[in-house]
Amino acid sequence: MIKSIAIHDIPLNHIAAVERWYYRHHGPEIARRFGPWLTRLDSYLPVSPPLEAQAYGFHNWRVTEAWWRELPEPGAQGNFSFTLPPMPAKGAACFVPVQPTEDFMGGQYQPHEKNVLRWCVLFRYPAGVSAEEADRWFLDVHAKEVIQQPGLYRFFSYRVIQQLMPLPGTWPRAFEGKIVGSGWHRLCELWYENFDDWRRSVIEAPPEYTRPSWAKYDKYPFFEPFVDFVSSFLLERPTDEFLRDARGYV
């Protein structure tokens, strides 16, 4: 079993049209067509962050998680192509193991003890730097510094699966985004109780970080936002669970 993650961004002027497409067409098409291969199909609308958080590669539209028992064969496979959105969304997508590859802190808390504000971040190492070398920095140096953030209480990470994954289904000709290979290296979740704790941890009183020698971006997070580092803020419960919610658009 593997999990696909897609983090999206759209001009807010078009959110009404894209939401209509998502509910009326895309969510039901995925659930109906690929339900036998899926165990979960969840979608989250991000929480609007404070202005200073938007500079950290913030993507403003849906984050979708699909949990696949296995991937069906790519292509139309007896179906029409997917219905096109009114405008393409920018975004970042990857496949990861269902469970984190590293769980750094916070697993001992019970649900009633903490509020959950999830900072989901996806980043990739620079070209020319081996993933093994960069992971040594992340695991042996950076993660140990991150857990010193004063308002952080939960932190875990996934190694992105680097194998090219042909997405099931097909889009009309000339529409981009069929294959997820991405070049992303890690998906991380950092949990806080509120934005005050996030601000204290990231802006006001962060730990002293060790900059890797290969970094092309001089300050935390050491990856260029919107290029090699994207993020979104989510709550703990999905906005939609398309395999369980049998809702039409109206």
CA dist 121 and 152 (Å) reads 14
User: Which pLDDT does position 179 carry in this prediction?
Assistant: 53
pLDDT at 176: 56
For residues 13 and 16, give the distance between their C-alpha atoms in angstroms, rounded to a whole number: 8
Q: Cα–Cα distances in Å, from 8 out to 11, 78, 204?
A: 11, 28, 28
User: pLDDT tens digits, the chain, 250 residues: what are they?
Assistant: 999 999 999 998 999 999 999 999 999 999 999 999 999 999 999 999 999 999 999 999 999 999 999 999 888 899 999 999 998 888 899 999 999 999 999 999 999 999 999 999 999 999 999 999 999 999 999 999 999 999 999 999 999 999 888 778 888 876 655 555 568 999 999 999 999 999 999 999 999 999 999 999 999 999 999 999 999 999 999 999 999 876 655 4
pLDDT of residue 247: 61
In this structure, what are the phi and psi dihedrals at residue 135, rounded to the nearest 5 degrees? -65, -30
What pLDDT does 198 receive? 98
| Whole-number Å distance between alpha carbons of 93 and 208 | 30
Stated pTM of the model: 0.94
pLDDT reported for residue 250: 43
**Cβ atoms of 157 and 100 closer than 8 Å:** yes
- pLDDT for 130: 93
Of 186, 204, 189, which is closest to residue 52 (Cα–Cα)?
204
